[in-house]
Chains A and B, each alone.
Chain A
Amino acid sequence: MQRAFLTLGILFLFACQQKVGDVKDNNFNRAELLAQAADNIIMPAMEATYMTAFNLQNATTDFISNPTASNLLIAQEKWKLMASNWQNINMFNFGPAGEMGVNKSLNEEAGTFPVNTTKIENYILANDTSFNNFDRDARGIYAIEFLLFGLNQNLTEITKDYALSPFRRDYLKACVNKLNQQIGQVYNAWNGSFINEFKSNSGTDIGSSISSFYNEFLKSYEGLKNFKFGIPLGLRPGQTAVAPEKVEAYYSGYSLELAFAHWSQLKNIWEGRGLNGKKGIGFKDYLATISGGNALIEATEIQMAQIDKAFGNIPHKPLSKNIQDDFEKVNVVHTELQKHTRFFKSDLSSLIGIAITYSSGDGD
């Protein structure tokens, strides 16, 4: 019996010490993935979004001081640029963009839609620009959109509203300033100490960079599927009809472009591709180093191609219109996204061993 015990001990020690002459079967460098994600993907996207938010601020300032149709048009274009850049960062909703104290995450603070136009008009009427409330559906990117694009109004009509109402000007200005301040705060934090913190926290437990990065990536994916397609298509239990007015960017009619930009950025992260097209290291490369990973990569990319195809088949007009005229074509995107969920959700996280919850696992 002692001998068996000794063998056991030696085996264990051997397990702890063997090193020589072995093939490295899994030598993925998580720190490298994090560094590339930060330098190649996150920082450029943050900077671009910050710049477009700044440009939007300038354009609205011009419009407010001089409310003309041409100035409005410029502001609208700047909003579109800002909103499409937002699609490149809404999945980095952790660290400085995560929930802090009384503040919700950046995604909730700035990216809530659909907005509540009644609330917006009420705050304008009351000239309340304090944002001292929990009505996140009355501010942020999509409130600014409503304020700049109006509902079924042409440029002249919208411009007239601003010329007549100083309160409206104040509210638009306050919303844009708030957005700039929030995005600037996150961008500056990344630019400061957070980038190194992100790169160095290379474990896989909850709170590690890869865990936050992955979990928010997944949340963003689910957000695309559920909020940009599921709800407007009327697919939730209890919905009795389509709800085209609940698409993202309903007022600008820019919903299809934005949804596709969102999907494209998720694909970029999967591949580790930066905005400039430079290929870095993504979840895909991580998977390739794990046994069973290549089968998953193949299955994932086959399904991704289906989603691309479904997007390609949607006529080039706002999703809200398509949902009414061409329901099935939009529905197919949702169906394909739904089929894809398991690849990003359970299969990927299971293979690369990322923690999803804080709770303890079954001990050994």
Chain B
Amino acid sequence: MAIKENKFSQFLFREVSILPLIGFRIIFGLTTFLSTFRFILLDWVNLHFVETKIQFKYFGFEWVPLLPEFYMYVLHGIMLLASIGVFLGAYYRIASIAFFICFTWCELIDITYYLNHYYFVSLIAFLMMFLPANKAYAFDAKKQQSKSCPTVKSYMLFLLKFQLILVYFYAGIAKINYDWLILAMPLKIWLPANSDMPILGSIFTYETTAYLFSWAGMLFDIFVGFFLLFSSTRIWAWLCIVLFHSLTGYLFQIGVFPLVMTFSTLIFFSNQFHLKFIQFFARFIPFFRFEPNQERITQADNKLFIKLSLLIWISFHLLFPWRYLLYHGNHLWTEQGYRFGWRVMLFEKAGTATFYVFDENTQREGVVVNSDFLNPHQEKQMAMQPDMILQFAQFLKKQYEAKGLKVNTVRAEVYVTLNGRPSQLLIKPNQNLLNLTDTWASKSWIKPLEN
């Protein structure tokens, strides 16, 4: 029984070349390998997961356990192997699942280290588990020639492209705010701090430069993803991406993210491009030379299931970043609904949080020295994020009760500066933080941002 399919459905299930997906697999495997390798090399496994006294938990993911030192290294070891597996298309299903689990696990241990690009990698890793990226030019394809295949369904590439455009587009939308466009903040602070950069450094001291970069950055983010879609603008858009990420990568301490985005966006390029790209690697990796079985027809899909899944996935990702609208106050200040919204390098913010612990036994209130319990990164992040402040208060209660104190009251004086404004109180200094719990509800105990 043939039901006439609408155009969109036809588009989704059209057979297209597998080449861009293979190119993407290679890039994803390589960049995640590099990222993990760098993480280990910089001793961050140790600094983030071993030498810490507290982990700040993600709301809803408090159950994700920190493992003993040895096993944290094992997790990272598995990630290294898994990323090589993804790169080679070897034992791909296991490798991609292992990578997703280990990577996301490590991310969910401590919210201190939350970065949008880690969230991005987690999402891509999740999608990669379901995509047949080992059906050609892969160790698996060579091993099981009968299962190899030159095509994939169009929706598979569409989904990855959607995810990439989403990052840029929402990062651009997020820049449409008063501080970014009208005050040119935080670039007015960040650019002069880099005035020692060769050639460009000298113009970073002009205020006009901050305005131009702010507006250009906003327009770039909003449009560049769409320009990647059209063959006539693609190469120019990508060159802009290279320029943009090279610059931000040089200016800011942002790790491997510029690399990840610059190369991931190659997925928009033509089949011929990807063929050449794969052939380059085939010089060193023999089974990349192996052509897929041309006759094999991909299996029939459960189209309804796939369409439904796509609908849910895409709706979620389109809507979730907007949840901040449901909360009171300026989200740059309160950070309610701020994370998981592609708000990248959006503000300059810092805080000083002083905690006071009241001991019922002695009726004395003591001042906490945060660095006794937190590493510098944790201290910095906690001092400006309300949910982390609550968690730290609970931690202090436990910590001091173990020392024999009786603690029913922990309060904090938290001064935060946002985009160069004079610092002001983030929460009421007399609020007993132990009486509060973190929920989805609006945090009425956060003081509104003034001016």
List the interface of chain A (C-beta within 8 A of B).
Answer: 1-2, 4-5, 8-9, 11-12, 14-19, 22-28, 30-31, 202-206, 222, 226, 230, 234-240, 289-292, 295-296, 299, 338, 341-343, 345-347, 349-364
Contact = CB atoms under 8 A, between A and B. Distances in A.
Contacts of B346: 362
B357 A237 contact: yes
A346 B115 contact: no
Nearest to B249: A363
A240 B345 contact: no
Given A5-B236, A12-B240, A362 B344 contact: yes
Contact of B366 (A22, A222, A238): A238
Contacts of B343: 362
A294 to B, nearest CB: 11
25 contacts: A1-B227, A18-B209, A25-B205, A28-B192, A237-B368, A237-B396, A238-B366, A240-B362, A291-B207, A291-B420, A341-B352, A342-B423, A346-B352, A349-B350, A350-B349, A350-B420, A351-B417, A353-B193, A357-B377, A357-B380, A360-B257, A361-B254, A363-B116, A363-B117, A363-B344
A12 B368 contact: no
Given A235-B366, A238-B366, A238-B403, A359 B113 contact: yes
Contact of B216 (A8, A290, A343, A364): A8
Contacts of B256: 360
Given A25-B205, A237-B359, A357-B380, A203 B415 contact: no
B342 to A, nearest CB: 10
Interface residues of B, number: 88
A341 B220 CA distance: 39
B420 A12 contact: no
A86 B258 CA distance: 45
Given A30-B195, A350-B349, A363-B116, A238 B400 contact: yes
A361 B236 contact: no
B44 interface: yes
A153 to B, nearest CB: 34
Q: Lowest 10 CB-CB distances: which A-B pairs, in order?
A: A363-B257, A237-B366, A353-B193, A360-B255, A15-B212, A346-B350, A363-B254, A342-B352, A25-B207, A237-B357
B354 A363 contact: no
A290 B192 contact: yes
B56 to A, nearest CB: 14
A338 B413 CA distance: 10
A281 B194 CA distance: 19
B249 to A, nearest CB: 8
A158 B232 CA distance: 90
A59 B323 CA distance: 71
B366 A361 contact: no
Contact of B219 (A11, A230, A234): A11
Contacts of B396: 237
A363 B421 contact: no
B153 to A, nearest CB: 28
Given A12-B243, A25-B205, A362 B115 contact: yes
B367 A338 contact: yes
B203 A18 contact: yes
Contacts of A351: 189, 417, 420
B206 interface: yes
Contact of A19 (B113, B203, B369, B403): B203
A256 B203 CA distance: 48
A238 B369 CA distance: 12
B386 interface: no
